[in-house]
Structure 1
Amino acid sequence: MLDELEQDRDDDAPIDMLERYFTAHGWSFERDEDEIVAKVKGSWTEYELRAIWREEDAVLQFLAFPDVRVAEHMRRAMYETIGLVNEQLWIGHFELWSSSGILLYRNAAIFGGEEGAALSLDAGEMLVESAIEECERFYPVFQFVLWGGKSPKDALAAALIDTQGEA
């Protein structure tokens, strides 16, 4: 599937490449000129993936929403949790929108002002897959804090335990 995508063309404009990538995976999406929004089923929840192309800045902003809303009384604990989680990330970061309490993962690709900027298949795949992987990896941490009554440190420790073998 991705081999065909790669052979077809590896130098599409950022939103065009993501549209082809989402199509190749069979994900439902909506698209306009500078934005694409897809829905992806993960192990824990459905994720909304949103990419926004800002041609004037030559930046592709990529957002993943793990369907987590944080009530006002839980925001202090969630901000602490996000800080601890972000220390674990190599690229991208989680944040909490203060106006709505929506948790999201954000990353960006900068094209340095190049005219006709293109997104390679490898770069597009890394942008999308890393967002999904980080949301999947840390979703339990956020749930442990919001619904499990755990402190941010305990939630992070519990969620990041590496299991040995198979059950």
Structure 2
Amino acid sequence: MLDQTDHDDNEPSAPIDMLEAYYAAHNWEFERHDDEIVASIKGSWTTYELRALWRDDDSVLQFLAFPDIKATDDRRPALYEAIGLVNEQLWIGHFELWSSSGILLYRHAALVDGEEEPMLSLSGAELLVESAIEECERFYPVFQFVLWGGKSPREALAAALVETHGEA
């Protein structure tokens, strides 16, 4: 968890500015282009691309996480079923498969409002980023089991969500 004192003025900032400060504080590689920021972070399973887009007209921050999974045409029906089962487990955000490319992603949109200018707090940025990474990490094995492990979506979900107790 990032300490509130790590942000320069400890005040909410414009959404993309706050995400930029958050990424910089973690020393993550990122690129900023006006109302969009893209970062790359290494997780347990893969390297994730994190992309945030700000729509000023709607005061919406769209946050996308790409877990580097692409489905071939023959595996898409099983993956769509797995996505449906996984999305039932989520409180915020959802996974989807882009039909044109077969790329899997996690998406969450946040309404960000402010009296004069929309602002995002440090804790809001942290929640947005960390929850996306956590969900990608938690469900990455499900998608891999379906795509490459020969498991049905229900078998994959059951196998991936087995809780372990103690230490190995």
TM-score (norm 2): 0.96
Structure 2 contact 4–122 (Cα < 8 Å) conserved? no
Mean Cα deviation higher: 107-116 or 118-127? 107-116
Report what 1:15 is aligned to.
Answer: 16
Cα distance between partner residues in 1 of 2:81 and 2:44:
25
**SS in structure 1 of the partner of residue 64 of structure 2:** strand
1:1-167 to structure 2, matched below 5 A, reads 2-6=3-7, 8-112=9-113, 115-167=116-168
1:11 is displaced (CA, Å) by 1.1
Name stretches of at least 5 consecutive residues in structure 2 with no aligned partner: none
- With over 3 angstroms needed to count, the CA separation of the structure-2 counterparts of 1:115 and 1:3, relative to structure 1, is closer
Mean Cα deviation higher: 84-93 or 103-112? 103-112
Structure 2 contact 4–10 (Cα < 8 Å) conserved? no
CA RMSD of aligned residues (A): 1.3
Cα distance between partner residues in 1 of 2:23 and 2:113:
25
Cα distance between partner residues in 2 of 1:64 and 1:20:
18
Mean Cα deviation higher: 30-39 or 104-113? 104-113
Cα distance between partner residues in 1 of 2:6 and 2:29:
17
Q: In structure 2, what residue type is equivalent to 1:20?
A: A
Q: In structure 1, what residue type is equivalent to 2:44?
A: S
Structure 1 contact 14–53 (Cα < 8 Å) conserved? yes
Cα distance between partner residues in 2 of 1:114 and 1:150:
50
Name stretches of at least 5 consecutive residues in structure 1 with no aligned partner: none
1:108 is displaced (CA, Å) by 1.1
Q: In structure 1, what residue type is equivalent to 2:20?
A: E
**SS in structure 1 of the partner of residue 133 of structure 2:** helix
Q: In structure 1, what residue type is equivalent to 2:146?
A: V
1:33 is displaced (CA, Å) by 1.1
- With over 3 angstroms needed to count, the CA separation of the structure-2 counterparts of 1:121 and 1:45, relative to structure 1, is same
Q: In structure 1, what residue type is equivalent to 2:109?
A: A
1:2 is displaced (CA, Å) by 3.0
Cα distance between partner residues in 1 of 2:103 and 2:112:
28
TM-score (norm 1): 0.96
Structure 2 contact 7–21 (Cα < 8 Å) conserved? no
Cα distance between partner residues in 2 of 1:114 and 1:50:
26
Paired residues, number: 167
Mean Cα deviation higher: 20-29 or 113-122? 113-122
- With over 3 angstroms needed to count, the CA separation of the structure-2 counterparts of 1:41 and 1:20, relative to structure 1, is same
